[in-house]
Chain A
C-alpha cells in the first residue's frame, strides 16, 4: 500500500543504483585500456550486444506500464508487448543491416551520410531531442511512483535519485555507451519480474482462485477480461498504437546507437534476432502479473495508480515478509528499467545537444577551446534537467501512453526518413525535410494537445485521434516525403547510388569488413 515503509524496498533500490554505478565504473576502466572504445565493439558477441539492447529498451512502460494497462483495460492490452517486440522485427527486415553499414552513430549522422544536408541533420537533431525528452519523462514519473509505492518515500525523491545516478554514470562514461551495464540491466529486469511471477503464480495455483470470468465478447481480442476503464474507439486505438510501436522502434534515439557496436551488417541482423528472443521472454511475465492483479486486487486502492499494480500485488497476495520481499525485488527491477533506459536516452540526447546544438555555438562565443568533455557534461545537465522538471508539470497520463506518444512521433518522422533513405534512391533533400516537418509537426502537435487535456473537454473521435496519432500522421509523413521528392528531382543528392551500394552490398564486396564509421 502507498505509505507503508519497507526497508527491503530501500535496500533493493539502493543495491540496483550502486550496482549500476559500480559496473559502469568497471566498464569505463575496461574501455580505457583499449585505445579506441569502438574497437571493443568487435569483440562484443551477439548475445551480449542483444542483452544490452534489451536492457536499454525495456523501460518503465514495459516493466510497470504493461501490467498496469492489462490490469485496467483488459486483454486488448496484450497487444502492447507484442507491438514492442514487433518493432524489432520491422527494424530487422527494413533497416538493421543497411543502417549498420551506413556507419552512422545517430540518426542525424545517417541523415547527413545519406543526404549530405546540414539542414536535414539539424532538423533530425531537434527531433531526437524532442523524442528523447518525451521518453525520459515517464522514466522519471515511474521512478517517483515506484519509490512512493514501495517505501512510502516522496515521489520527488525517486525521480531525483534516477536523475542523479543517470547523470553520474553518463557524465563519467562520456560518449562511450557502456555495453556491460546495459546487458546487466536486462538480466536484472528478467530476474526481477520472472521470480516474483513464478512465486505468485504458484501461490495462485495453490490458493485455487478462479481466473476473471470470460463474459463480454466485444473488442478486438474478445472480452476475456472486460475493461475497467473504457476507451472510445478501441479498435482504432489498438491498431494505431500497434502501428506506432512497430514502426517507431527504429526511430528511437537510443536504439541506433546500440547497433553501432555490431562489427558489420550481418552481425547487426543476427543480434536483432537475439533481441527478439530476449524481449519475447521478458514480455511473457508483465501480463501475467496484471491478470493476477485483477484477481487479488479487484478494486484499485484509493490514490494508487494502475501503473503501480505490479508493486502492490505481492503484499495483497501474501501479506508479511514474503510479500514485502517480492515487492522489493520488483521495485529493484523497475529501477533497473528506469536507470538503463534513462541513461541510454541521456547519452543520445546529450550527444546530439552537444554535437549539433551546443558545442559549436559555445566555442564560438567563448573563444573556441572548451574541452569536449566539459561541453558534453553541460549537455547532460540540459538533457536530464528539462524532462525532470517537466515530470512535475506534466499531467499524469499512464506511463505506457506517454511512451506510446514518443513511438508515434518517431514513427511519423524518422521511420519515413530511414525507410525511404534505405530503399528509395530518389529521396531528395527537400522531400526528407518536408516529411520530417509534416510528420513531426503533426505528431508533436497531437501530443501537446493531449497533454493540454483536449480529451477532458471534447468527446468523440478528436481526442482519440490526438492521443494515438500514428495511424494518420505516419502515412501523411510518408506521402509528403515521396511527393515532394518527386517534385524536386534536382535536390536528390548526386552520390545517392554510391551511398545505396554502401548500405546494401555485403562488406566483402565493398571491402569494408569491420570498418567503424569510416
Chain B
C-alpha cells in the first residue's frame, strides 16, 4: 500500500469517474441559465447603467411589489374581516365545539397556519419571479 503511494487513490478516482459517467445529470434549463450568468458579469453592468436595465428593474420591482401587496391584503382582509364576522353574525361569538368557543380556536390557533401558508406561498412566488428575472438576464 505504502509502496505505491497514490495508486489506491487513483483507482478510487477512476471508479468514481465511472460512476459519474453512468449517472445522468438532470438539470433544468434554468440551472444552466444561472451558470451562464456567472460567466457573464456584464449583466451587472447592464442593469446598472443602461436604459434597458432600468426597464428590467422596474418590471422586477413591480412584480415583487404586486405579489407582496396581494399577500398582505389577503391576510389583512381576513384578519380585519374575522372580528366583523363574529360581531355581525348572530350566535357566531357564542358558538362552541365541546367546551371551547369557536372564537378562541380561530383567534388562538387557526390564524397561525393561515399566516404560515401565506408566507410559504409568498416565498415560492417571489423565488419564481427572481428565476424569471435571472433567465431574462441570461438570455441577453
Is the pairing of A and B real? yes
Chain A residues at the B interface, C-beta cutoff of 8 Å: 75, 78-79, 82, 85-86, 88-90, 92-94, 97, 210-211, 214, 217, 220-224, 242, 266, 269-270, 272-273, 276-277, 280-281, 283-284, 287-288, 291, 423, 497-498, 500-501, 504-506, 508-511
Contact indicator A222/B103 (Cβ below 8 Å): yes
Chain A: which residue is nearest B67 at the CB level?
Answer: A93
B48 on interface, CB distance cutoff 8 Å: yes
Complex Cα gap A270–B122 (Å): 10
A93-B71, A501-B47 as given contacts; A223 in contact with B93, CB under 8 Å: yes
A211-B99, A272-B119, A501-B53 as given contacts; A224 in contact with B104, CB under 8 Å: yes
Chain A residues with CB below 8 A from B86, complex form = 221-222
Complex Cα gap A345–B87 (Å): 39
Contact indicator B126/A269 (Cβ below 8 Å): yes
Chain B residues with CB below 8 A from A214, complex form = 93-94, 96, 101
Chain B residues with CB below 8 A from A97, complex form = 126
Contact indicator B107/A79 (Cβ below 8 Å): yes
A211-B99, A224-B101, A280-B115 as given contacts; A288 in contact with B41, CB under 8 Å: no
Complex Cα gap A92–B118 (Å): 10
Complex Cα gap A97–B67 (Å): 14
Chain B residues with CB below 8 A from A79, complex form = 107
Contact indicator B87/A222 (Cβ below 8 Å): yes
Chain A: which residue is nearest B57 at the CB level?
Answer: A501
Can you list 20 pairs linking A and B with CB atoms under 8 Å apart? A75-B104, A75-B107, A78-B104, A82-B107, A85-B112, A89-B72, A89-B118, A89-B119, A92-B123, A97-B126, A221-B83, A221-B93, A221-B103, A242-B79, A276-B112, A284-B112, A287-B104, A505-B133, A508-B134, A509-B133
B127 on interface, CB distance cutoff 8 Å: yes
Chain B residues at the A interface, C-beta cutoff of 8 Å: 34, 37-38, 41, 43-44, 47-48, 53-54, 57, 60-61, 64-65, 67-68, 71-72, 75, 79, 83, 86-87, 92-94, 96, 99-101, 103-104, 107-109, 111-113, 115-116, 118-120, 122-123, 126-127, 130-131, 133-134, 137
In the A-B complex, the 9 residue pairs with the smallest Cβ-Cβ separation, listed nearest first, are: A222-B93, A280-B112, A78-B107, A93-B68, A506-B130, A220-B83, A222-B86, A501-B47, A224-B101
A280-B113, A497-B48, A504-B60 as given contacts; A509 in contact with B53, CB under 8 Å: no
Chain A: which residue is nearest B60 at the CB level?
Answer: A504
Chain B residues with CB below 8 A from A272, complex form = 119
Which secondary structure dominates where chain A touches chain B? helix
Extra contacts, 4 of them, besides A86-B115, A224-B93 (Cβ < 8 A), are A94-B72, A273-B123, A508-B38, A509-B37
Complex Cα gap A288–B92 (Å): 21
Closest Cβ of chain A: how far from B102's Cβ, in Å?
Answer: 9
Which secondary structure dominates where chain B touches chain A? helix
Closest Cβ of chain B: how far from A293's Cβ, in Å?
Answer: 14
Contact indicator A508/B104 (Cβ below 8 Å): no
Contact indicator B134/A506 (Cβ below 8 Å): yes
Complex Cα gap A214–B100 (Å): 10
Contact indicator B103/A82 (Cβ below 8 Å): no
Contact indicator A217/B94 (Cβ below 8 Å): yes
Complex Cα gap A511–B64 (Å): 20
Chain B: which residue is nearest A70 at the CB level?
Answer: B108
Chain A residues with CB below 8 A from B96, complex form = 214
Closest Cβ of chain B: how far from A86's Cβ, in Å?
Answer: 6
Contact indicator A511/B72 (Cβ below 8 Å): no
Complex Cα gap A88–B112 (Å): 12
Chain A residues with CB below 8 A from B72, complex form = 89-90, 93-94
Chain A residues with CB below 8 A from B107, complex form = 75, 78-79, 82, 221
Complex Cα gap A504–B47 (Å): 11
Chain B residues with CB below 8 A from A266, complex form = 127, 130
Select the residue from A93, A224, A510 with max chain B CB neighbours within 10 A. A93
Complex Cα gap A272–B60 (Å): 21
Select the residue from B38, B53, B119, B137 with max chain A CB neighbours within 10 A. B119
Chain A: which residue is nearest B102 at the CB level?
Answer: A224
Complex Cα gap A146–B112 (Å): 28
Contact indicator B115/A510 (Cβ below 8 Å): no
Contact indicator B116/A280 (Cβ below 8 Å): yes
Closest Cβ of chain A: how far from B139's Cβ, in Å?
Answer: 12
Complex Cα gap A505–B134 (Å): 8
Complex Cα gap A221–B122 (Å): 28
Complex Cα gap A93–B124 (Å): 11
Closest Cβ of chain B: how far from A88's Cβ, in Å?
Answer: 8
Complex Cα gap A210–B127 (Å): 49
A224-B103, A508-B38 as given contacts; A270 in contact with B93, CB under 8 Å: no
Complex Cα gap A94–B120 (Å): 14
Complex Cα gap A497–B48 (Å): 7
Chain A residues with CB below 8 A from B37, complex form = 508-509, 511
Contact indicator A220/B87 (Cβ below 8 Å): yes
Contact indicator A210/B104 (Cβ below 8 Å): no
